[in-house]
Amino acid sequence: MSDIEPTSHEATRVLVTGATGYIGGRLLRRLHGDSYQVRALARRPQNLQRLSKYLDEVVQADLLDEASLRPALEGIDVAYYLAHSMGGSGEFEEEERRCAHHFGKAAQHAGVKRIIFLGGLGSDRAELSPHLASRHETGEILRSYGVPVIEFRASIIIGSGSLSFEMIRALSERLPLMTTPKWVKVQAQPIAIQDVLDYLEAGITFETEESRVFEIGGTDVVAYVDLMREYCRQRGLKRFIVQVPVLTPKLSSLWLALVTPLYARVGRKLIDSVRMPTLVEDPSALEAFDIQPRGVEQAIAEALRNEDREFAETRWSDSITAGNTLRGWGGVRFGSRLVDSRSRDVDVPAAAAFTPIRRIGGEQGYYFADFLWRVRGSIDLMIGGIGMRRGRRHPDHLVPGDVVDWWRVERVEPGSLLELTAEMKMPGRAWLRFEVKPRSEGGCVVHQTALFDPVGVFGLLYWYSVYPLHSLIFNGMLRNLCREAERLHAEHPGTGELEPPQPVRTSEPA
């Protein structure tokens, strides 16, 4: 048995480096619970505030400052080394070496029982890219200090928000005709983020007293072009891909910087790594761990579903203050989605402010430019949509699943939140969300958010072409909703409610 297996009497003490990163942040959520006491290391602890509920402790330390690491590792059983300098400027290899030496030495001094390191997949027999070579060297440095190291080497990681997935998404969504360099046909063995996290957590209790290296990957051997095609298939996009014979890594990275969210220098390092095969040659991880990795189709589908869940759970009002907006031209991005949010102070109780919101649509209308809403409904009918003929079930009450013209009620929390999902014809998916939050000094803030998930370039063209009109309509609607709330409160100064809302049904939306 491993001497660091958690027991019911004493939780295993775990340190996570790179906790503000993609992998580290998700690992914190996975480890949170009774079995582990989790400490995170960060140069700027304030950056971990959003993850504080998953942490028992945060320590300020810098991998480039060995003295700061010793107290950070004191009392730790298992230390995760998830930091890297891929996004840094200058000679990142030397910085990687220094960080690994400092961490290994501090772990040895503190008596850490195990280090778990996530590295990069690539054959030691091949000429590795600088990034992959540095990852392998980091593992060797950590092992040199005598603390047992479990090193997992992974290829492309598929998950909502991962670097590779965001590149695949941006290329697929924005370019109907893609001219691609030959590196998009190099074979790799992608792995789902859920499987990576399974391996990382299983590394805590893996029974060994010595260092081990495990190559981990999904069930499919594919290339980037196959990942793009599968993403397009699941998103319903039609794309034409033409390979060009010459496109250097530098030019490729600059091209990526123009059409994807990646920085050019990060894109170049990523391309350097995918220009050679990254395949699992040693399948021992499948025998050592009770983990059955996913295939590409399932990994992409779960990435999209998880993004939907994260998107639905995001409270956009948390990102803005009263009187301000969460808007650039056309809104701000959340993955492939566009978000336009605005807010307005109103000196009435939250219940009074929510009353006109719950009455929206049907005979009541939309509080501003109803003529334009009817025109859009007529256009929807002409192109085979449902238009605005459905009205609403009840003029004053809403429950999940109710129809409101061309909307469907997705969520409703009496007195605080209403979320509508659009069922009209459009090149994408759309939501309209209203949130009411009381102010400590009295009154409340009404937040209104329009959200759009465009499909392809046509979806983007649709959103940006109608955005000036949307901005006019949504501003006017929010202003008049607040005025109506003030009027109702003046007439009924108790709460502004003409009658109490009915209990919310728990049935699922139709």
Pair 301, 391 in one domain: no
Q: Which residue has the higher pLDDT, 505 or 343?
A: 343
Candidates 142, 197, 201; CA nearest to 6 is 201
CB 119 within 8 A of CB 140: no
Question: Are 271 and 342 contained in the same domain?
Answer: no
The helix/strand/coil state of 127 is coil
Q: What is the structure's pLDDT at 497?
A: 53
In the DSSP assignment, the letter for residue 203 is T
Of 229, 222, 223, 218, which Cα lies nearest the Cα of 171? 229
Same domain, 48 and 70: yes
Q: CB neighbours (10 Å) of residue 221?
A: 16
Domain boundary residue, one of 256, 282, 308: 308
Residue 297 shares a structural domain with residue 381: no
176 shares its domain with 226: yes
- Of 264, 280, 308, the one marking the end of a domain is 308
Q: Are 296 and 334 contained in the same domain?
A: no
Q: Which amino acid is at 287?
A: E
* Predicted confidence band of residue 43 (pLDDT cuts 50, 70, 90): confident
pLDDT tens profile 209-256: 899 999 999 999 998 889 989 998 998 888 887 776 655 555 555 555
Residues 253 and 323 in one domain: no
Q: Are residues 169 and 131 in the same domain?
A: yes
Q: Tell me, what CATH number does 221's domain have?
A: 3.40.50.720
Q: How many CA atoms lie within 13 A of 333 on its CB side?
A: 10
Any idea what DSSP says for residue 278? B
Does 496 have pLDDT greater than 60?
A: no
CATH number at residue 403: 3.30.530.20
3-state SS of 334-397 is ECCEEEEEEEEEECCCHHHHHHHHHCCECCCECCCCHHHHHHHHHHHHHCCCCCCCCCECCCCC
Contact 160, 303 (CB under 8 A): yes
Give pTM, 2 decimals: 0.69
For 144, residues 6+ apart whose C-beta sits below 8 A from its C-beta are: 104
Which of the residue ranges 87-91, 106-110, 242-246, 375-379 would you say has the lowest mean pLDDT?
87-91
Phi, psi of 419 (to 5 degrees): -125, 125
Collapsing DSSP states into helix, strand and coil, what is residue 317?
helix
Tokens 């605080």, located at residue: 416
Residues in contact with 468: Cβ distance below 8 Å, sequence separation at least 6, in sequence order = none
Looking at the fold, whether 226 and 299 belong to one and the same domain comes out as yes
Residue 480 lies in a domain: yes
Beta strands 428-438 and 417-422: pairing type? antiparallel
The string of pLDDT tens digits covering residues 127-168 is: 777 778 889 999 999 999 999 999 999 998 998 878 778 778
pLDDT number for residue 359: 94
Q: Which of 308, 338, 367 is the last residue of a domain?
A: 308
List the domain range (segments joined by +) for residue 478.
Answer: 314-491
In angstroms, the CA 99 to CA 139 distance is: 12
- 208 in the same domain as 163: yes
Structural tokens at position 180: 């691609």
Q: Which residues contact 62 (CB under 8 A, 6 or more apart)?
A: 43, 68, 69
Give the residue-averaged pLDDT of 327-335: 66
Contact 492, 498 (CB under 8 A): yes
Q: Are residues 180 and 116 in the same domain?
A: yes
> Strand 149-154 to strand 212-216: parallel, antiparallel, or no bridges (unpaired)?
parallel
Pick 494 or 396 by higher pLDDT.
396
